[in-house]
Amino acid sequence: MRLLIVFLLVISPIFADHDEYDEYERQEYHLPLDVSYLNLNNDQYKQIKHIVKKFKHEHKEFHEESEKIRKKISKLFLSEKFDRDEFVRLSNNLKNLSVEIQADFFVKVHRLLTPKQKKRFVKYMQEWEVE
């Protein structure tokens, strides 16, 4: 019986399912805001490093602005009368800022990448959303 179990364990890798795919197409472990899966050349890497650094800085500023707006919204809610129009204006400003940061980033990255790299980037595009 032990021999049968050992035999099955030894031959099981032979029959294991293996899907053919691009090595960067599907990764189990992926670091957020990492671009190593894009297989960039040196020039692209230098440029994207600058773009990502700027994106992270803008993302940080967005969060600081977001906190300010949340405090303003809290004050609105605590006031005697809730100003719906001001709430909508503040919320739209925050969303517009988010979209602007993300759009600028995508424009810069789009110019830099090859079509094959763009396909890889799209798989992780959601992690670049400004929230």
Which one, of 87, 68, 85, lies nearest residue 77 by Cα?
87
Torsion of CA 103, 89, 66, 54, to 10 degrees: 20
Instruction: Name the residue with tokens 């800085």.
Output: 57
Which one, of 48, 53, 21, lies nearest residue 36 by Cα?
48
Interval 28-57: pLDDT, tens:
544 556 777 788 888 988 898 899 899 889
Give the Cα separation of 107 and 11 in Å (integer): 50
Candidate ranges 35-44, 75-84, 113-122; pick with highest mean pLDDT: 75-84
Helices (H), the chain: 2-15, 42-78, 84-112, 115-123
128 in Cβ contact with 30 (< 8 Å): no
* pTM greater than 0.75: no
Per the prediction, the chain carries an average pLDDT of: 82
